[in-house]
Structure 1
Amino acid sequence: MSRPDEIDTRYTQDRELSWLKFDERVMEEAWDEAVPLFERLKFAAIFTSNLDEFFMIRVGSIGDMALIKEPHRDNKSGLTPAQELQAIIQAVQPLYRRRDKLFADLETRLRSCNICNLEFNELDSKERRQVERYFRDFVAPVLSPQVVDPHHPFPHLPTKQLNIALALKREGRDYLGLVPIPKNLPPFLVLGEQGLRYILIEQIVLSRAHALFESYTVGSRAVISVTRNGDISPEDEDSEAEEDFRQHMKKVLKKRARLSPVRLEYQGELDHGTLSCLRERLGLEEERVFRSKAPLALDYVFALESKLPKESADALLYPPFSPCWPAGLVKGQKMIPQIIRRDALLFYPYHSMEPFLRLVKEAAVDPDVVSIKITIYRLASKTKLVEYLAAAAENGKDVTVLMELRARFDEQNNIQWAERLEEAGCTLIYGFEGYKVHSKVCLITRRDRNQVQYITQIGTGNYNEKTAKLYTDFCLMTASPAIGADAAAFFQDLSISNLEGRYETLLVAPHSLRPALLELIDREIAKGGEGFIFLKMNSITDRVLIDKLAQASQAGVRVLMNVRGICCLRPGIPGLTDHIKVFSIVGRFLEHPRIFVFGKGDDAKIYMGSADFMTRNTQRRVELACAVLDPGIRRQLAHYIEVLCRDNVKARIIGPDGTWSPVPRRADQPAVDAQAAFMEEALRQQAEAQLPVPMEVPEKEGFWSHFLRLIRGTQEEETNG
């Protein structure tokens, strides 16, 4: 265990508190008047969903660590788990209050647009009759009300299931009443035909709950929801030696539903006695109880979107955008010959995933294709990819799928797809004990004139056809023999559980990724003030990499980082991290690519892949980053980075104290929203049906020089400001 005086916290911050600042940034989008009104409500729902998962995973995990007799101290903040929990609770309380105020404001604004979320006492007589009929005919028959007493013990409350809690009294005695709301009930009931008037299912049950307890006097009542620890590691669970890992995961999922509570939320009024009873039964301290004025589950918002009248949708939502067919690929021609001729880069969601799916579909029937190998972490609930892989196996191709069954909250979905693929004749692998396989790589092997030919796909995101329309990600498709040979060796190593393979073009965790990154940073450190590093990722928590980047800054290396979420490195600390600039973008789409650039110009080493700079990625997962070799793809990535760095609308700079602030913008500077710019560019290229034009820059100020000017200029503005 590290002593407090051994932990240098001068340029680092706590991971959990950094994450809460990120989620607060998500809520900022819901406050932004420039964002369409209903989209703002969706951002409020995303903030809430993020917070739910944070309690399930992070608070649950830290709570487990707090039970250890000799707790370790966080190596970024020096806090013990108990101290971290206390800091989290203190940080979350104001977030609830701000979210409640936001939700009330949005609901008021939506009512002026005739989009009304109603309570029972607001309904007119016709609407009341509609709700009463609906409750009688469809809701009441599936409810299971319960009185908690010596003959009816306190029931198990599944995580995030809504329940109605009531204070009951009969013959002078107090009782607790509970009414679980089945998850198969629709989240709301639409009322009438004018605009969009609706009532949430929990409000329907809350208004009629007294009818379920006719022999009792009903006192205070509220909607409640329990959040349980969801941080199960399958490796920590006992399994029989001969047990199939897929069956083992099914058992693990059942256990997750019964883990310890970490939070109780309620909306409505509960008297002190009823609240104390609930806390005692759930084993929760008072500080773990959160009162909310907003609904406890806001995911109904996404279902509500489809009910908006067209005129309302036009005014309240972002203008519709459909992913484009990328310039540089001919839609009417086969994909395999096109990729053999030239590398292609898809940029989701601005580009469609269809070219990659067509590539796999063609491979499934191509007589020259002998095998398809792929690693899968997450898939949509409906996916063409599985259909094409199954068809390939049924056509006699050797199809190997490494399906990661431990992708958190997608375990059941992945189990079902694994069973489908196995039925089709695919070879299934389930990864490694102690290491999740998070890499995104697909290898198609062909025999062409008695020679082996590879087509390799490397992704920064999952093969999920739904999230590819919501997340920004890159998909590289290449016929490079060097990359293909490394991918073939990588899959061979996976099949024999070898995590120490060595490759020419691939950096692979847990063995070679972090050491290679450290060497690449050292390469820039040796250049001193001429060194340059650009990093784009979701999060950075790895203390070893943080310290090495601080060392680079102290050597004069300019480090520019685009970190979407957790950033445990605090930039701009004099003498420590003052050559590091960190900015973040939260917008219409979820920023998700991982791009690493070391050096300038043709000498730059550029990688793209699946790993963040997090200890779990570098040490406890099988991750993959691929060298970008093709000059045309390197130019496309350079253009992407340049536009990203010019964002002064959605971008926020992370300051020395770890807080986020808007990017400074002079009055004469044009507003640049990077995501909007990429949408416009994709639409323009699709309309023009021409190849991407390399970015034109004046000879005296090339791309890398622009970076240095951008960094220095921003730092000067901050100093002068």
Structure 2
Amino acid sequence: MAQQFNPRDITWLGFNARVLQEAKDATVPLPLRIRFLGIFSNNLDEFFRVRVAGLKRAMDFKTKVIQESFYEAPSKILQKINKIVIDQQSDFEKTWREVQKEMAKQNVFIKDSKSLSAAQKDFVVKYFDEEIESNMIPILLHENVPMPYMRDKSLYIGVAMRRKEWQYESKFAIIEVPTTTNSRFVILPTENKSEKNVMLLEDVIIYNLPHIFSYFGYDDFEANCFKVTKDAEFDLDNDIKTTLADKIEKGIKSRRKGKPTRFVFDKEMDKALLEFLIRKLNLSKKDSIIPGQKIHNFRHFMDFPDVFKAYEKPVERTSFTHQAFDNKERVTDVIIKKDILLTFPYHTYTPVIDLLRESAMDPDVKSIQLTAYRLASNSKIINALVNAARNGKDVTVMLELRARFDEEANLQWKERLELEGVKVLVGIPNKKIHAKLCVIKKRVNNKTIQYGFVSTGNFNEKTAKIYGDSMLMTANRSIMADINKVFSVLNKPKADPTAILKSCKTLLVCPQFMRDKIIWHIDREIEEAKAGRKAEIIIKVNSLSDKILITKIYQAAEVGVDMKMIVRGIYCAVNQKGFKKKIYAISIVDEYLEHARIMYFYNKGKNDFYLSSADWMSRNLDYRIEAATPILQNDLKKQLKHMLEIQLADNVKARVLDKNIRNEYVKGDEKKLIRSQIEIYHYLKNL
């Protein structure tokens, strides 16, 4: 029987539909509903920039390998995507209308250029004159002049201008809304102090169009917003004389030439202007041309101003210090004595920063090595490492310059770190460095002591407040030995890493070897199930699309292994006929982004656990340096098992992952509602 798989891109759209469900949920606080709308929009933008662009490129290749890598013909997937996206856009707009009704109940209103009071009109004119006009450049469009460069993430106003006495001739112009220099949201003055009026930046500009184009003599304006999403991928040239940093910098500039993958516009836009834009952007029927409502680039609404009635933030949404660090003992001293499991954002990220700060000041510390993928904009991690370098420590940072959409920021970090005397590694050819590792070495009484941490998520104190991740802080000698092996590979980018990575005895590492070890663990559970003994596997990942591992999961289900999956996003597996025990698969979408990767294998009651940086995707397992650490202490194993069981019992925010991606909520005992993120908080708090 042929095995079935769901196309990864279709299942990803299913995940984004779950995000939209949170915006629709009336029990979610209003500011968070708006934020979820912004997240949905931002997710969709990146999806078109990366995945849809990739599908369009794949259509140019007719080989069977290309077709199989997408699980279905790219052209068919694109047709499905367009239909789903249009339906989701309609659902989004309906949700936004409902949210605005709720906003009105709190006396919060979004004003456009036609609904201003006299005082507000004066304010908008003055605000435009003082704050906006110098930051924007109107561009007139001409049939015989090439279209000006359109920025990928920008919002544009398309303007059709006429004279009232002569309506048969139109002039077109575009204006880029300057959201990089001005806030998207302008708070207007109101006579009623209990009422809050917010005006979008584009509407402030639209109100001032007669002033902007006054020298042309036009007095009739139609203005509507649109945006263009472009292919964000870039190829790195193979010039061996060029450094990776130079190649990345060149690649960032090449994004300017990316082909449009989506054109979204206000469906009320002037028809002649719309036709002009489509023609000048060289868009065709096969491109995603999507009519929408008035507001675009909704990602800015993730930072909607705080104008609502204060709602009492649940105590469960407040991070607390791990019990091991409640006393005055140094973080260093605690983790040298025993392993500590941090679970973010329930636990505060402070001990991680404190550990690096202690190491920067400790005269016995000789070196610090750390991998960095996505950093906070004002990174305390980097500040601590810079201080360590200034204090004479040997500091090495593996900085992944190819972290998508963080390339420019990481180039800037590279420059700063090198100026401060930090050794910056930039990876090995054709392999992204995605492992989350840190090793610190100190010398005491002629003895070297090593300690550090391994994480499922980035070393980023900002995202640690909203991403659900796990980190093992440890001084385990075998774990530290393997981390050193990974760094020895990173220090020799031109050498073959295979032999060194294969020699890792404790960490599971990619490429190749992590998958092999996962298969070994699954095979062992399969043998137990065949023998009629208990066999259980729980996998928590962000994405599951690797065909080899999915096939192995199918084999486990066929013989009755108790397979449970918690997958936030992409989920390509499908329950097949003939499974002795069906796979139980759920996705949890709540206020925190579920980001941890955790693997559990029963192993005759020994309970093998791993924290991993890798999703179960071919790109992670074959084309990245990744690392998974075992959990060796029984008390920490019990913690992880209990937290996984809480998530598997969720009947508030968990959705069933089925073949048709219907996103139906898990049904359970209505008298005993289990919202896993709340329950995990209480569990950890009471340890």
Q: Give the shorter-chain TM-score range.
A: over 0.9
How many angstroms apart in 2 are the aligned matches of 1:160 and 1:487?
Answer: 38
Counterpart of 2:497 in structure 1: which amino acid? L
How many angstroms apart in 2 are the aligned matches of 1:78 and 1:459?
Answer: 31
Specify the alignment match of 1:579 in structure 2.
582
Identity fraction in percent? 31
* Residue 101 (structure 1) aligned to one of 94, 101, 104: 94
Counterpart of 1:540 in structure 2: which amino acid? L
Specify the alignment match of 1:241 in structure 2.
240
How many angstroms apart in 2 are the aligned matches of 1:507 and 1:361?
Answer: 29
How many angstroms apart in 2 are the aligned matches of 1:537 and 1:9?
Answer: 26
How many angstroms apart in 2 are the aligned matches of 1:612 and 1:659?
Answer: 23
Matched ranges for 1:31-46 at <5 A: 31-46=24-39
Deviations 1:181-204 (A, max 9, x none): 223122121111533211001112
Specify the alignment match of 1:346 in structure 2.
342
Deviates more, 1:598-607 or 1:481-490: 598-607
Say which SS state the counterpart of residue 223 (structure 1) adopts. strand
Contact 2:560/2:580 (<8 A) preserved: no
Deviates more, 1:209-218 or 1:590-599: 209-218
Deviations 1:568-612 (A, max 9, x none): 0013x3214843110110001000000001125642221111000
Specify the alignment match of 1:186 in structure 2.
183
* Residue 80 (structure 2) aligned to one of 73, 87, 95: 87
Contact 1:11/1:576 (<8 A) preserved: no
Deviations 1:344-385 (A, max 9, x none): 111100001111111111111222222111111110001111
Contact 1:76/1:568 (<8 A) preserved: no
* Residue 321 (structure 1) aligned to one of 307, 317, 323: 317
Q: 1:577 to 1:192 in 2, by over 3 A?
A: farther
* Residue 589 (structure 1) aligned to one of 592, 599, 604: 592
Specify the alignment match of 1:708 in structure 2.
none
Say which SS state the counterpart of residue 433 (structure 1) adopts. coil
Contact 1:345/1:475 (<8 A) preserved: yes
Specify the alignment match of 1:534 in structure 2.
538
Matched ranges for 1:87-166 at <5 A: 87-149=80-142, 152-166=145-159
Counterpart of 1:130 in structure 2: which amino acid? F
Task: Return the TM-score normalized by structure 2.
Answer: 0.93
How many angstroms apart in 2 are the aligned matches of 1:568 and 1:9?
Answer: 15
| Stretches of structure 2 lacking an aligned partner (at least 5 in a row) | none
Contact 1:585/1:652 (<8 A) preserved: yes
Contact 1:438/1:622 (<8 A) preserved: yes
* Residue 680 (structure 2) aligned to one of 666, 678, 681: 678
Note if 1:624 corresponds to 2:627: yes
Say which SS state the counterpart of residue 121 (structure 1) adopts. coil
Structure 1 position 482, deviation (Å): 1.2
| Stretches of structure 1 lacking an aligned partner (at least 5 in a row) | 1-7, 686-691, 693-721
How many angstroms apart in 1 are the aligned matches of 2:474 and 2:345?
Answer: 20
Specify the alignment match of 2:516 in structure 1.
515
Q: 1:151 to 1:137 in 2, by over 3 A?
A: farther
Deviates more, 1:219-228 or 1:195-204: 219-228
Deviations 1:411-464 (A, max 9, x none): 111111121211111111101111100000000112233222210300000001
Specify the alignment match of 2:233 in structure 1.
231
Specify the alignment match of 2:489 in structure 1.
493
Contact 1:570/1:577 (<8 A) preserved: no
How many angstroms apart in 2 are the aligned matches of 1:78 and 1:244?
Answer: 36
Deviates more, 1:166-175 or 1:396-405: 166-175
Computed over aligned residues only, the root mean square deviation of the Cα atoms, in angstroms, reads 2.1
Structure 1 position 19, deviation (Å): 0.4
How many angstroms apart in 1 are the aligned matches of 2:361 and 2:654?
Answer: 45
Deviations 1:238-279 (A, max 9, x none): 254232322221221111133111111112522332212111
Q: 1:10 to 1:215 in 2, by over 3 A?
A: farther
Contact 1:118/1:197 (<8 A) preserved: yes
* Residue 468 (structure 2) aligned to one of 469, 472, 495: 472
Say which SS state the counterpart of residue 662 (structure 1) adopts. coil
Counterpart of 1:566 in structure 2: which amino acid? I
Structure 1 position 303, deviation (Å): 3.2
Q: 1:610 to 1:263 in 2, by over 3 A?
A: same
Matched ranges for 1:170-209 at <5 A: 173-182=169-178, 183-193=180-190, 194=193, 195-209=195-209
How many angstroms apart in 2 are the aligned matches of 1:410 and 1:73?
Answer: 28
How many angstroms apart in 2 are the aligned matches of 1:32 and 1:103?
Answer: 12
Counterpart of 2:609 in structure 1: which amino acid? I
Specify the alignment match of 1:372 in structure 2.
368
Structure 1 position 331, deviation (Å): 4.1
How many angstroms apart in 2 are the aligned matches of 1:78 and 1:352?
Answer: 41
Counterpart of 2:657 in structure 1: which amino acid? I
How many angstroms apart in 2 are the aligned matches of 1:662 and 1:350?
Answer: 24
Q: 1:420 to 1:9 in 2, by over 3 A?
A: farther
Structure 1 position 314, deviation (Å): 1.9
Specify the alignment match of 2:53 in structure 1.
60
Residue-pair matches, total: 669
Deviations 1:271-296 (A, max 9, x none): 33221211111122245221222521
Structure 1 position 660, deviation (Å): 2.2
Contact 1:459/1:476 (<8 A) preserved: yes
How many angstroms apart in 2 are the aligned matches of 1:133 and 1:73?
Answer: 56
Structure 1 position 69, deviation (Å): 4.9
Q: 1:552 to 1:481 in 2, by over 3 A?
A: same
Note if 1:447 corresponds to 2:443: yes
Say which SS state the counterpart of residue 313 (structure 1) adopts. coil
Structure 1 position 174, deviation (Å): 4.2
Q: 1:663 to 1:680 in 2, by over 3 A?
A: same
Matched ranges for 1:253-292 at <5 A: 253-267=252-266, 269-286=268-285, 288-292=288-292
Counterpart of 1:628 in structure 2: which amino acid? I
Deviations 1:51-87 (A, max 9, x none): 1110111011111111235475543774221221111
Contact 1:221/1:269 (<8 A) preserved: no
How many angstroms apart in 1 are the aligned matches of 2:307 and 2:580?
Answer: 49
Contact 1:325/1:352 (<8 A) preserved: yes
How many angstroms apart in 2 are the aligned matches of 1:552 and 1:203?
Answer: 57
Deviations 1:666-691 (A, max 9, x none): 34x41111111223345x44xxxxxx
* Residue 28 (structure 1) aligned to one of 21, 44, 58: 21
How many angstroms apart in 2 are the aligned matches of 1:112 and 1:272?
Answer: 36
Deviates more, 1:637-646 or 1:549-558: 637-646
How many angstroms apart in 2 are the aligned matches of 1:440 and 1:386?
Answer: 15
How many angstroms apart in 1 are the aligned matches of 2:283 and 2:579?
Answer: 42
Counterpart of 2:681 in structure 1: which amino acid? M
Counterpart of 1:514 in structure 2: which amino acid? R
How many angstroms apart in 1 are the aligned matches of 2:376 and 2:316?
Answer: 21
* Residue 569 (structure 2) aligned to one of 554, 565, 572: 565
Structure 1 position 126, deviation (Å): 1.1
How many angstroms apart in 2 are the aligned matches of 1:523 and 1:267?
Answer: 57
How many angstroms apart in 1 are the aligned matches of 2:626 and 2:185?
Answer: 42
